[in-house]
């Protein structure tokens, strides 16, 4: 079985034809063309595989888009206006932890070997640092949706690649590369064009989403250094189960400090929306988990190039959906900036995959695509 380097994903083995039976060999030697019993099944197998991949991609798009749209609706001042993104994000961590544990129990192949368990000291050191940065990343990105449009949010989050490159050099995960620097500068120019002419620009929301993008780049570097090489966190489900308890604690403490327990309990939303609040608490975490699961399935069935291309298309679909449902306004220069940024991301991924250390490139590209909506 081939193994994916970032998630140690077991890919399906390539088809290797078995040796031809003696009877067929004799027929060939005598000039008789043998009829393959498997030939009629090959087109059907190919069609089935394509259908499965398409369904996985559609599931990924569905869960990702629905999560983005729902988060925007929950936190937007003009919609539900639930002003507690840190508290809500902490609840989502509990939901994801539960689903991760159920998955590990239901599918033994995802269960880590007990001898590979973290010691408590190692757990708080390795997982604790990653959980803190990840929790802040998610909390700040959700908080930014209170004041900025979903399309603007998506465009700003596309800058993650810039900070991934920056932190990879700072932490000496990879050597400095002038070509990659030039590509990231092109991406930066695209982001500036997208941001500079935003018609509904709110400085506080912009600073929050850019801070979350910086933290996402730092999160990538820390994950590379502390978690990915450890056998206990060798797949996304054990990684989620390891990180979510600490992420819950960090986000809960941050919510108590910055949002206040009294304000949370006395929020008008509890009376206004009543039983629907349970949906608000449970559904986003559920969507986030199944988004990760569908991404994982796509990695198993396809290549990193497919994942990267699908990730770029997902951003475009999210922006289109936000203009249709939330009436976000995009000027021509915004669209030009978006095209420059997405082309830059595509070139960056292509260069990283085809040049230098291919394994490290695949780890980086997968991380970026998988964490755009985390």
Structural domain range at position 343: 43-370
Higher pLDDT, 13 or 347: 347
Residues of the chain above pLDDT 70, percent: 79
Predicted confidence (pLDDT) per residue in 187-200, tens digit: 888 888 877 766 67
Question: Is 273 within the bounds of a domain?
Answer: yes
Q: Domain for residue 138, yes or no?
A: yes
pLDDT of residue 358: 52
Residue 28 falls within a domain, yes or no?
no
In a domain, 10, yes or no: no
Q: Is the pLDDT of residue 369 over 60?
A: no
Q: Convert the pLDDT of each residue in 90-138 to its tens digit.
A: 999 999 999 999 999 998 888 877 777 777 888 888 888 888 998 888 8
Say what the pLDDT of residue 31 is.
46
**Domains contained in the chain, number:** 1
Q: Is residue 11 part of a domain?
A: no
pLDDT for position 97:
93
Query: For the residues 244-252, what does the mean pLDDT come to?
Result: 92
Whole-model pTM: value is: 0.73
- Highest-scoring range by mean pLDDT, 74-83, 97-106, 273-282: 97-106
Q: Please state the three-class secondary structure of the chain as a single string.
A: CEECCCCCCEECCCCCCCCCCHHHHHHHHCCCCCCCCCCCHHHHHHHHHHHHHHHHHHHHHHHHHHHHHHHHHHHCCCCCCCCCHHHHHHHHHHHHHHHHHHHHHHCHHHCCCHHHCCCHHHHHHHHHHHHHHHHHHHHHHHHHCCCCCHHHHHHHHCCHHHHHHHHHHHCCCCCCCHHHHHHHHHHHHHHHHHHHCCCCCCHHHHHHHHHHHHHHHHHHHHHHHHCCCCHHHCCHHHHHHHHHHHHHHHHHHHHHHHCCHHHHHCCHHHHHHCCHHHHHHHHHHHHHHHHHHHHHHHHHHCCHHHHHHHHHHHHHHHHHHHHHHCCCCCCHHHHHHHHHHHHHHHHHHHHHHHCCCHHHHHHHHHHHHHCCCC
With respect to residue 78, please indicate whether it lies within any of the assigned structural domains: yes
Q: Is residue 265 part of a domain?
A: yes
Which one has a higher pLDDT value, 234 or 368? 234
């Amino acid at each position: 079985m081939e193994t994916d380097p970032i998630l140690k994903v077991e890919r399906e083995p390539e088809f290797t034809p078995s040796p031809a039976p003696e009877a067929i060999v004799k027929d060939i030697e005598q000039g008789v063309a043998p009829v393959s019993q498997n030939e009629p099944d090959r087109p059907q197998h190919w069609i089935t595989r394509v259908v499965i991949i398409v369904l996985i991609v559609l599931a990924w798009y569905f869960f990702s888009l629905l999560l983005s749209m729902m988060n925007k609706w929950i936190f937007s001042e003009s919609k539900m206006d639930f002003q507690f993104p840190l508290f809500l994000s902490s609840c989502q961590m509990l939901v994801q932890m539960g689903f991760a544990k159920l998955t590990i129990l239901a599918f033994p192949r995802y269960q880590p070997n007990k001898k590979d368990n973290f010691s408590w000291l190692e757990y708080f050191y390795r997982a604790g640092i990653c959980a803190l940065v990840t929790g802040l990343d998610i909390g700040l990105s959700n908080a930014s949706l209170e004041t900025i449009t979903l399309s603007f949010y998506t465009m700003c989050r596309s800058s993650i690649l810039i900070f991934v490159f920056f932190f990879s050099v700072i932490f000496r995960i990879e050597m400095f590369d002038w070509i990659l620097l030039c590509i990231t500068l092109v991406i930066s120019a695209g982001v500036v064009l997208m941001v500079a002419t935003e018609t509904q620009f709110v400085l506080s929301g912009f600073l929050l989403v850019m801070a979350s993008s910086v933290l996402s780049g730092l999160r990538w570097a820390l994950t590379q250094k502390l978690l990915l090489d450890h056998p206990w966190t060798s797949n996304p489900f054990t990684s989620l189960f390891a990180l979510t308890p600490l992420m819950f604690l960090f986000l809960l403490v941050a919510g108590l400090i910055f949002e206040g327990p009294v304000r949370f309990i006395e929020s008008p939303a509890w009376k206004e929306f009543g039983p629907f609040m349970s949906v608000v608490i449970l559904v986003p975490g559920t969507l986030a988990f199944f988004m990760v699961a569908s991404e994982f399935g796509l990695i198993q069935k396809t290549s990193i190039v497919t994942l990267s291309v699908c990730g770029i298309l997902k951003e475009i679909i999210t922006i289109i959906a936000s203009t249709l449902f939330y009436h976000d306004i995009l000027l021509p220069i915004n669209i030009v900036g978006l095209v420059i940024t997405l082309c830059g991301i595509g070139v960056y991924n292509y260069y990283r995959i085809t040049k230098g250390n291919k394994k490290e490139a695949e780890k980086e590209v997968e991380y970026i695509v998988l964490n755009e909506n985390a």
